[in-house]
Structures are given as structure tokens and as C-alpha cells.
Amino acid sequence: MHLERLTEKICAIARSCGAFLREERNAFSRDSVESKQAHDYVSYVDKESEKRLVKALSEILPEAGFIAEEGTASYHGEMYCWVIDPLDGTTNYIHDNAPYCVSIALHRGTEMLIGVVYEVCRDECFYAWKGGGAWLNGYSINVSDVDRLDDAFVFCELPYNADAYQSTALYLIKHLYGKIGGIRMNGSAAAAICYVAAGRFEAWAEAFIGHWDYAAAALIVIEAGGRVTDFYGSVDFIGGHHIIASNAKLHHLFTDLLPEALPKGM
């Protein structure tokens, strides 16, 4: 398997689905939105984008299974597995707010082989293949060298599980706000992790997320020289639901704090 050539094909597929998202956004109506759970939404756009991804990816690697957010296809222990999110940042999309992404990863078991994230609003395609470095629209990217708290720019996302995560979120903000360079949240895990890979942010953390939310971006930040773990600091995070991504130098921003205020149920 030639990973670089395969990555090129996946980037083209991601861009094609992104073009569909962009076109549909022009005439999008909130009347088409359904609730999966409190404040967690899905629309015909998510479902149609996923169908397009499954069809296109099946044509280039028919022996692979799928882990797909909207359940269009399934995984039955195949050697290779596509992990896809047809629209990461659905709430942003519904409100015509950036960013939102198409996210595609290829795994062999727990081994990350390829990650592609296409951020539609800025026309940015982030991608990486194992051992090939991290890239953005044809240019090599790396995590930042920032190691001072005063200069640190981080994401503190707020997942949908408010009852379980509220105390964690408040604890993080209390101990970071005013001590670091800035705190932001953007509503797309895939985009946020890629922004860490590109050196725009130093760290990001979120719980109660799906495998499809981070599978592609995790490889991109690792290939960009960063670090990815779960909330306990373990590198065996694939398939988990709580993730930290950083430039490595400031990973401790979250690993030092989170054990003191883990979300309920963890």
C-alpha cells in the first residue's frame, strides 16, 4: 500500500464532499435538523455526505470496513478500517458559523495510517500519512515551539454532556484563565486538533467525543511533532472518548489539571 498516493486520493474525496457541504449551506434550512440527544444535531447534509464518503472510499479500498458517525456503513473486524465524520461541527454548520470539516482516517487495527481533515470554510486540507510528516494544502506544518504559559493559546471545548463535564470545564477555566495567553473554543474537534498541528494553538482537550471526531486529526498532530493522549496521559487513546492534543511542550497544561477534576463517569 502506497500511503502517499492513497492520501492524495482521500484528499480529493474530502474536498469533493466539502464542496457538497458548501453548496448545501447556501440553501440550508433549520427545519431539516434532527436531535440525536440534547444539543447534538444531525441533518440530511450529514447523512448524504457520509453516503458519498462511503461510496468513494469503498471504490479505492473495497476490503476496508467503516466506523462512521451516522451509521451508513459498518466495521466487522476487517484488516483496514475507515473512520469517518462527514460533517464535524454540525452545530456550527447549522448556524452558518465556522469551522466545520470532513474528517477521514484509515486505520489498520489500532495503527493510524492516514488522516485527512478538510476544513470547508477556509478551504484548508490538512493531511498526514504514517512517517510522512504533516501537511496543509501542499505545505509542511509543525506544532509550535511555545513552552511558556504566558504565551500559550489553548482550546477548552464544552461537550454536549453538560451535567457530567460542567465541573471539569469550570475547573479548567478557573486554573487557566488569566495565567495563559488565551482560551478559545471552536465547535469542531477535528479542526481544533489540526490547528494545534499547524502551530496556531498549543493544546486542546475534550471528553465525550466519538472516535470519528479525532481519528484523522490525531495522526496529523503526531506527524507534526505533537503529542496525543487520553485524559490519563496514555498514548493508547484509539477508540476512547477523552483526548488531549498538544505541541508536546505544554501537554502538562491539561494532564496536571484533569486528574483533579475528571468528568463524572470517568
Question: Do residue 159 and residue 231 come from a single domain?
Answer: yes
- In the chain, beta strands by DSSP E: 34-37, 40-42, 65-68, 80-88, 101-108, 111-119, 124-129, 134-136, 139-141, 153-156, 182-184, 203-207, 227-230, 242-246
265 found inside a domain: no
pLDDT of residue 139: 98
Strand partners, 240: none
Question: Do residue 122 and residue 211 come from a single domain?
Answer: no
Question: Do residue 193 and residue 167 come from a single domain?
Answer: yes
135 found inside a domain: yes
Number of domains in the chain: 2
Q: How far apart are CA 241 and CA 251, in angstroms?
A: 18
Domain termination site, one of 115, 141, 167? 141
266 found inside a domain: no
pLDDT at 111 over 60: yes
Question: Do residue 131 and residue 175 come from a single domain?
Answer: no
Query: CB within 8 A of 255, min separation 6: which ones?
Result: 229, 231, 233, 244
Q: How far apart are CA 246 and CA 132, in angstroms?
A: 19
Query: What is the arithmetic mean of pLDDT over 72-78?
Result: 81
pLDDT of residue 32: 60
Tell me the residue range of the domain where 55 lies: 3-141
pLDDT of residue 71: 76
**Do 172 and 257 contact (CB within 8 A), yes or no?**
yes
pLDDT of residue 128: 98
pLDDT at 89 over 90: yes
In whole numbers, what is the pLDDT of the chain averaged over residues? 92
pLDDT at 91 over 50: yes
pLDDT of residue 246: 98
* Single pTM value for the model: 0.94
**Do 216 and 104 contact (CB within 8 A), yes or no?**
yes
Domain termination site, one of 141, 161, 179? 141
Which CATH number covers residue 237?
3.40.190.80
User: Does 55 or 39 have the greater pLDDT score?
Assistant: 55
**Do 223 and 117 contact (CB within 8 A), yes or no?**
no
Identify the weakest region by mean pLDDT among 70-84, 87-101, 166-180, 243-257: 70-84
pLDDT at 41 over 60: no
pLDDT digits 0-9 by tens, 190-239:
999 999 999 999 999 999 999 999 999 999 999 999 999 999 999 999 98
Query: CB within 8 A of 165, min separation 6: which ones?
Result: 158, 159, 207, 208, 263, 264
pLDDT of residue 36: 52
Question: Do residue 105 and residue 182 come from a single domain?
Answer: no
Question: Do residue 28 and residue 129 come from a single domain?
Answer: yes
Question: Do residue 108 and residue 30 come from a single domain?
Answer: yes
Question: Do residue 105 and residue 172 come from a single domain?
Answer: no
pLDDT of residue 30: 64
pLDDT of residue 210: 92
Let me know the angle formed at the C-alpha of 43 by 219 and 113, rounded to the nearest 5 degrees: 15
Query: CB within 8 A of 19, min separation 6: which ones?
Result: none
Query: What is the arithmetic mean of pLDDT over 11-22?
Result: 96
